[in-house]
Amino acid sequence: MKLGPDGRLSGCRFVASPNQDERPAGEAISLLVVHSISLPPGEYGGDAIERLFTKRLDPAAHPYFREIADLEVSAHFLIRRDGELVQFVPTTRRAWHAGVSAWRGRERCNDFSIGVELEGSDPGPFEAAQYERLAALIEALRAQYPLRELAAHSDIAPGRKTDPGPGFDWPRLLGALSRFHTAADH
């Protein structure tokens, strides 16, 4: 995997999301935020996540979709249960993944972060292929950006978000990486 100057990663499928905009000028990308998502909640597979991120989610397809179909959200990347990597927003642009957020005193985490969604749910475990792909993705991103920190969505939006949840094995990921600071490092 290699990140191009256009912010697109080679070796993964690209599905353009309209839920993005320009990053603030001169803003260094220093944070990677780990999320989890499953649509419908607790179910894996299918195209509902891609439809949500591309504003094509059919509210009649599932009762839960009526609540979220109008959301304007995205992430830079999604890692499926089998390790498939999908990119929605070039890393040079701001994805709308963090919402109201703050990290180490800085608000608006979308401005200086890359968002990675893992297909999964808060209480459940994640797959080995997802950890392997996430570690490889982080290394590819570190070759281009001064990524110094790694946080959960729950770290940057405490009380509002809980993902990726207790099923995510931070020691497993952090064991494969160096030079990151987590919320536990404060």
What is the CATH number for 25?
A: 3.40.80.10
Q: What is the pLDDT of residue 180?
A: 47
Q: What is the pLDDT of residue 175?
A: 84
Tell me the CB-side half-sphere exposure of residue 156, using CA atoms within 13 A. 30
Residue 7 domain-assigned (yes or no):
no
Residue 152 domain-assigned (yes or no):
yes
**Statement: residue 179 has pLDDT above 90:** no
pLDDT digits (tens, 9 = 90+) for 148-159: 899 999 999 999
Q: What is the pLDDT of residue 181?
A: 46
Residue 24 domain-assigned (yes or no):
yes
Would you give the DSSP letter of residue 36?
A: E
Q: What is the pLDDT of residue 122?
A: 86
Q: Please count the structural domains in the chain.
A: 1
Catalytic, out of 27, 43, 72, 117: 117
**Statement: residue 96 has pLDDT above 90:** yes
**Statement: residue 183 has pLDDT above 70:** no
Examine the residue annotation and report whether 117 is marked as an active-site residue of this protein. yes
Residue 178: which pLDDT band, with cuts at 50, 70 and 90?
Answer: low
Residue 19 domain-assigned (yes or no):
yes
**Statement: residue 108 has pLDDT above 50:** yes
Amino acid at 15: V
Q: Which residue has the tokens 């890692």?
A: 79
For residues 76 and 114, the answer to whether their CB atoms sit within 8 Å is: yes
Least confident of 9-13, 61-65, 82-86, 179-183: 179-183
Least confident of 66-70, 143-147, 173-177: 173-177
pLDDT digits (tens, 9 = 90+) for 8-51: 999 999 999 999 999 999 999 999 999 999 999 999 999 999 99
For residues 170 and 36, the answer to whether their CB atoms sit within 8 Å is: no
For residues 134 and 86, the answer to whether their CB atoms sit within 8 Å is: no
Residue 3 domain-assigned (yes or no):
no
Which domain, by its residues, includes 121?
A: 13-185
Nearest C-alpha neighbor of 74 from the set 16, 136, 139, 4: 16
Percentage of the chain lying above the pLDDT 70 cut: 95
Question: Would you say the C-alpha torsion 137, 140, 143, 145 has a positive or negative sign?
Answer: negative
Mean pLDDT computed over 49-74:
97
**Statement: residue 168 has pLDDT above 80:** yes
